[in-house]
Amino acid sequence: MQVLHSHKDEITKFLRKEFGNDPVIKYAGSYAKGTMIQESYDLDIVCYFPSTDSRTLKEIHDDVANRLKKGYLVEEKASAVRILNLKGSTSLNDYHVDVVPGRFIEGSSDVFLHVAYGEKERMQTNLEVHINHIVKSGCVDVIKLVKLWNYRNNLTIKTFVLEIFVVRALEGFREKADLKRSFLKVIQSFKDEFESVELQDPANPTGNIISKLISPSHRILVVQAAKETFAKIEKSDQVELWKKVFRDDNGSNILQGPTPIKNPPGQWAL
């Protein structure tokens, strides 16, 4: 946890030196939502400029990327700049930090992000809405468990897609606190619905269809994995079968859930 704090502080100081106090710099992603797990804990940070910034979204994105390149090895993603060579990492594959540049929309907490490829060049969204949608869903613990299943089985479902799908699958489900029942319900939804599901950004339901991020071949891969998982454990409490589903070799009690990385008080603050 201290490593995450130190990286966030380090990158914040770097961006502050480059841009002063103009941008809002905050935790985002799994860390801010409380869904981060110990086996997969890459960090997301937003860098949002005021609505009065006259630059285009692409100019803002490119400026942040170019400044970061002065101090780091980076990779540009669709709407983020990924820092690969963090201090303390033993290799480029250890973990990374994604910095997401954006610009606030006047009179709103919504932001516009530049999108480097796809159907449109910008996306309207709201980080606070994302956080509240997940935190208040009652699904945080099962999201962590599904993330572990995703990670251990190398399914590479994008985190935001996974979180939104889990919340959708458990909407109206009254036993969310029961990890076994909740996990089975989600896996059943993956096998029955994931191939054709349409998932919307809760911050912009009509403008952002996030399920477009999933290719047809990837959908099929996830559905097949879900079918295999569901068939193994649907009617079984055998620990060995559950361990196989999670590719667990250390004898842990998987139904207690993966070890989370706990968020500090005031996670929405700088």
Residue 159 confidence (pLDDT) above 50 = yes
In the structure encoding, which two tokens stand for residue 8, read together?
Answer: 């966030």
Looking at the fold, whether 141 and 201 belong to one and the same domain comes out as: yes
Q: Quote the pTM value.
A: 0.86
* 243 found inside a domain: yes
Residue 41 confidence (pLDDT) above 80 = no
Q: Helix (H) and strand (E) counts for the chain? A: 9, 7
Residue 1 has a pLDDT of 61
DSSP label at 32?
A: H
Query: In 3-state terms, what secondary structure has residue 90?
Result: coil
Looking at the fold, whether 21 and 119 belong to one and the same domain comes out as: yes
Looking at the fold, whether 165 and 204 belong to one and the same domain comes out as: yes
Pairwise CA distance, residues 229 & 212, whole Å: 25
Residue 23 confidence (pLDDT) above 70 = yes
Looking at the fold, whether 156 and 116 belong to one and the same domain comes out as: no
Query: Which of the pair, 41 or 156, is modelled with greater confidence?
Result: 156
- Identify the domain boundary among 96, 125, 154: 125
Number of domains in the chain: 2
Domain assignment of residue 195, given as a range: 135-256
- Identify the domain boundary among 74, 105, 125: 125
What is the rounded average pLDDT of the residues 176-188?
A: 96
Which residue matches tokens 């569901």? 230
Residue 268 confidence (pLDDT) above 80 = no
- Identify the domain boundary among 125, 144, 167: 125
Looking at the fold, whether 177 and 99 belong to one and the same domain comes out as: no
Residue 263 has a pLDDT of 43
> Helix 159-169 to helix 179-193 angle, to the nearest 10 degrees?
110
CB-based contacts of 224, cutoff 8 Å, min separation 6: none
Residue 260 has a pLDDT of 47
Q: Give the whole-number percent of the chain exceeding pLDDT 70.
A: 87
Answer left, alpha or beta for residue 92, where phi above 0 means left and psi between -120 and 50 means alpha.
Answer: alpha
What is the rounded average pLDDT of the residues 9-30?
A: 94
Q: Give the whole-number percent of the chain exceeding pLDDT 90.
A: 70
Residue 130 confidence class, pLDDT cut points 50, 70, 90: very high
- Which CATH number fits the domain that encloses residue 69? 3.30.460.90
Concatenating the DSSP letter of every residue in 113-159 gives: EE-SSSS-SEEEE-HHHHHHHHHTTT-HHHHHHHHHHHHHTT----H
Q: What is the pLDDT of residues 230-256, one digit of tens each?
A: 999 998 888 888 888 888 765 454 554
Residue 89 has a pLDDT of 58
